[in-house]
Structure 1
Amino acid sequence: MSLTRSLVLSDVAPGDRRMTTHVRPLMRTLRPALTEEDFDRFVTEAHAQGLVFTAAYDAGGHCTALATHRVLATSRGRILFVDDLVTHPGHRSTGIATALLAHLTERARVCGCHRVELDSGTANVTAHRFYHVRGLTIAALHFTLPVGVGT
């Protein structure tokens, strides 16, 4: 049996114990500066804005990957935007992230989206290779301007 056949994808909502026991530790591998308290505030606020937390579990019940995503209506059409996509370091290169991305792509189709979009930090070359191999292209540059609040 392949790893992806035994993969279980589950949306995890605020208040679900898996949010703190599974999702938060995995998210912090991607965003280590995010404190537990900041994560808890983020979950509540972002979920209210439509953010969905989809966790991937292996056959042993271990949370091996996570995607946070939301459907957005934009002037370029309806999109499924992936805020975060992270695989547990011990489970990388096993097909889990590919399966999760395929799930998000199908979810986008079902939701009437034209595209799946995501941002990736400029220094994250390994992620860029992963995205390119799976057919994602660089369509824009993402610019930021700090405004002094919380920085």
Structure 2
Amino acid sequence: MELTLTDVPVPGELLTAHVEPLIRVLRPALDADGFARFAAEAAGQGLVFTAALDPAGRCLGVAAHRVLATSRGRVLFVDDLVTSPAARSTGVGARLLAALAERGRAAGCVRIELDSGVQNHGAHRFYHARRMAVAAFHFTLDLHPERP
């Protein structure tokens, strides 16, 4: 499948029209205003949205990522990696992940890291097929338990 990978400006029309709907597939509790606030704040923290566009300009996948300095070394952290439901198993996610690996190497990163929800078995199969390992548990503590 022919794809063009492009970094998406924040704010911008491509972000709102194409990236936001895909991120919201992955994060359905995020409404339009919440996405706009998240994108603006996260971009200020170094988050980059990379979109995979088909020849017609349709966004088939998105990777939201940033380089982090950690005690484990420099890592390319993937906040979100999502493929359009209609384009799954067509190579879009693999192409995005390969591009992220290239970026990480160029940025001096020692690895790619990401979190995946424990219920997302399809994503787990995808990551395992690309030789990614389960290296840690990610624990959370809700600081506002009264909020849904």
TM-score under structure 2 normalisation?
0.97
CA offset digits 1:54-77 (Å, max 9, x no partner):
000011111000000000000000
Secondary structure of residue in 2 paired with 1:100: helix
Following superposition, the deviation at residue 31 of structure 1 comes to: 0.7
The AA in structure 1 aligned to 2:136 is A
Secondary structure of residue in 2 paired with 1:99: helix
User: Aligned residue for 1:36?
Assistant: 32
Secondary structure of residue in 1 paired with 2:135: coil
Following superposition, the deviation at residue 148 of structure 1 comes to: 1.0
Q: Out of 105, 113, 123, which is 1:127 matched to?
A: 123
Unaligned runs of 5+ in 2: none
Matches within 5 A, 1:1-151: 3=1, 6-148=2-144, 151=147
- Alpha-carbon spacing, 1:150–1:74, altered in 2? closer, same or farther (3 Å): farther
Following superposition, the deviation at residue 15 of structure 1 comes to: 2.3
Give the RMSD, CA atoms, in angstroms. Answer: 1.1
The AA in structure 2 aligned to 1:134 is R
Unaligned runs of 5+ in 1: none
The AA in structure 2 aligned to 1:65 is G
Secondary structure of residue in 2 paired with 1:9: strand
CA offset digits 1:72-110 (Å, max 9, x no partner):
000000000000000000000000100100000000000
Secondary structure of residue in 2 paired with 1:25: helix
Secondary structure of residue in 2 paired with 1:135: coil
TM-score under structure 1 normalisation?
0.95
Q: Quote the Cα distance in structure 1 between the aligned partners of 2:34 and 2:65.
A: 18
Could you tell me the percent identity over the aligned residues?
57
